[in-house]
Structure 1
Amino acid sequence: MKRNDFLLAVFVMAIWGFNFSMIKMGVTNVHPLLATAARFALAVMPAIFFIAKPNVQWRYLVGYGVVFGVGIWGMASWSITAGLSSGISSVLLSSNVLIGMVVGILIFKEYASMRKLLGAAFALCALVVLVSSTTGNVTTEGVVLIMIAACSWTLMGMIVKASKTTQAFAFNVWGMLFAPVPLVIFAVLLHGDEIVWQAVELWDWSTTLAVMFQAYPTTLFGYWVWNLMLIKYPLSTTAPLTLLVPVFALVSGYWMYDEALSLAQIIASGLFLVGIGLIVKPAQSQSTMPKRARKLAG
């Protein structure tokens, strides 16, 4: 990866990590489902008027919008108000890699190398330690919600794959069109329509700043750059960079909210990211193996 592209990609990872602290800011006064609805409404309007609809069936866009909006970011935002620290929420959301691996093996009959299995074992053990060594920054409800988000991330990938789209950014923008309304309906079903009026009354400048950060730098700019990287470089080069997101999230959570981890949680977070790294790291192909190694392999 070229130096400037690498720095730009790391910058986006920093934005995505810092985003978890901004989510916490946005849901301080306003229900997380409504704050998330506002995020996607701003991200879609007016961008959708300048981007042509991708050549896919509507059901994929609707499914993507509901899963991406409600399933991932609605639940991830809610997990923070349910007691997870913003940094822990980011780390646990990375467990979508584990879930995706299990789905790949059980449903798509994908092969899992010994390295991936070892990585999964590392990550699972670290996950248990991370959750059990709570200092008040982990709750059962929060863990359930963030795991729903992680499962939804895998489902989102299956929807994108089934759509066979080649227009990733356009697919993302048009899919987000179907995120705000289900989020608002879900919030109203849970709490009645007074939750909307309460959000209007409690909405302040910090909520506006948080929602705008999530809509523009995080969603539109971040995914635009990320899709460019995916086009220019193989997934094996770009995917490991996402491991920086929880690191930046933990740092920003400590900086903004004094979210501290216990020593056991710090070690567990590191081991968890090592395990995930072993899973996402691709196997070395014959063409990229050193000449001597190829002779030994052959």
Structure 2
Amino acid sequence: MTTRDRFLGVGVAVLWGLNFIAIHLGLDHFPPFFFGALRFTLMAVPVVLFVPRPDVAWRWLLLYGTGFGILQFTFLFWAMDAGMPTGLASLVLQSSAPFTVILGVLLLGERMSRAQVVGISVAVVGMTAIAVDRDLHGSGAALIPVLLTLAAGLGWAFGNLGSRMARPDNPLRLTLWMSVVPPIPMFALSLAVEGPSAGIRSLTTLGGHGGLLALAGLAYVVVLATVVGSGIWTHLMARCPASRVAPFSLLVPVVGISASWLLLGERPTVVELVGAVVVITGCLVGALGGSASRGRVCETRTHVQPADARLDEVTAHPDPGGAGRGAGRSLGVP
């Protein structure tokens, strides 16, 4: 990778890490399910009007949108609204990586390398330590947001399988079209759980200080984290081996935890910090250990190779949540 590529990789990690701060600002004003529906609606409308639909089967697009869009963000926003610390959420969501590998083995007949087994085991130990620590310090109530965030990671993993099976010729186009799936189900969930008045009230009070901060957070999530971050990541994945790009995603929780500490005053416990190091180490071992493309260098041209030509080259996850052979086709933004 060139120095420019490395700077771009770090830049995406910073964008995605700060995305959790933006989500926090949005959830301070909007009801969680309504906020999720609003986020995807703002993406879906211009996508349908201006972006050609990717040449993939509808079933895989629906699986991607349901897993990555509906399940991940329903549980993630619910968890953060229920008290999941912002920085810790950015870490626990990394559970999507081992979940993706395990689902690939169970549902797609893929095989794990020895390094992936070790990496997943190490990551699970770190996650367990964090969950136990939250349970001990929160009298049981603090454990529920952790479990909800783990459910979000599992949803992301199912989305990764949909993206992997779709094998799009243009991953960014698939990512954008994924946003068409969640709005209606998430608006329906918001109406059923939060009631129509909650969403309407949040829209009619946007003129206040909290409302303006929420709008800024919403704009960040849609424009910077999704469009800009995803675009840069897709560019890097088109030029370089996934094994070289994927580790940059492990900087996301580092940025998320640090930014939450500095901006929101969240102070993780010693056990949580140690658990974070263990989780990131496990994910890194799994990502690098599954690679079969170490001999490939970054392409000097910028066009995306045909899907069939690249399929066997991609073995590590390209996003903060994907993992396993072929999962590199997916692209996700928390």
The answer, yes or no, to whether TM exceeds 0.5 is: yes
- CA displacement 1:105-145 (0-9 Å, x = unmatched): 33333332332222222211111111222355982321222
Would the aligned equivalents of 1:68 and 1:179 in 2 still touch at CA under 8 Å?
no
Matched position secondary structure for 2:276: helix
Matched position secondary structure for 2:108: coil
- CA displacement 1:221-256 (0-9 Å, x = unmatched): 111111111111111111111100000000111111
The 10-residue stretch of structure 1 (217-226 or 157-166) with the greater mean CA deviation from structure 2 = 157-166
Name the amino acid aligned to 2:51: I
Q: How does 1:1-150 map to 2 (within 5 A)?
A: 1-134=1-134, 135=137, 139-150=142-153
Matched position secondary structure for 2:169: coil
Q: What's 1:178 paired with? A: 181
Q: What's 1:151 paired with? A: 154
Q: What CA distance in whole angstroms lies between the structure 2 residues aligned with 1:201 and 1:286? A: 52
- CA displacement 1:191-239 (0-9 Å, x = unmatched): 3222222322343101100100000000111111111111111111111
Q: What's 1:199 paired with? A: 202
- Structure 1 portions without partners, runs of 5+: 289-298
Matched position secondary structure for 1:83: coil
* TM-score of the aligned structures, taking structure 2 as reference length: 0.80
- Structure 2 portions without partners, runs of 5+: 296-334
Q: What CA distance in whole angstroms lies between the structure 2 residues aligned with 1:77 and 1:117? A: 30
Cα pair distance change 1:141/1:286, threshold 3 Å: closer
* TM-score of the aligned structures, taking structure 1 as reference length: 0.90
Name the amino acid aligned to 2:243: S
Q: What CA distance in whole angstroms lies between the structure 1 residues aligned with 2:175 and 2:253? A: 22
State, as a whole percentage, how many aligned pairs show the same letter.
Answer: 22
Q: What's 2:222 paired with? A: 215
Q: What CA distance in whole angstroms lies between the structure 2 residues aligned with 1:202 and 1:63? A: 35
Would the aligned equivalents of 1:253 and 1:259 in 2 still touch at CA under 8 Å?
yes
RMSD between superposed Cα atoms in Å:
2.2
Higher helix share: 1
Larger RCO of the pair (alpha carbons < 8 Å, separation 6+): 1
Alignment pair present for 1:236 and 2:238: no
- Aligned residues, how many? 289
Matched position secondary structure for 2:109: coil
Q: What's 1:295 paired with? A: none
Name the amino acid aligned to 2:186: L
Q: What CA distance in whole angstroms lies between the structure 1 residues aligned with 2:43 and 2:84? A: 26
Q: What CA distance in whole angstroms lies between the structure 1 residues aligned with 2:67 and 2:192? A: 18
Matched position secondary structure for 2:289: coil
Q: Which has the larger radius of gyration?
A: 1
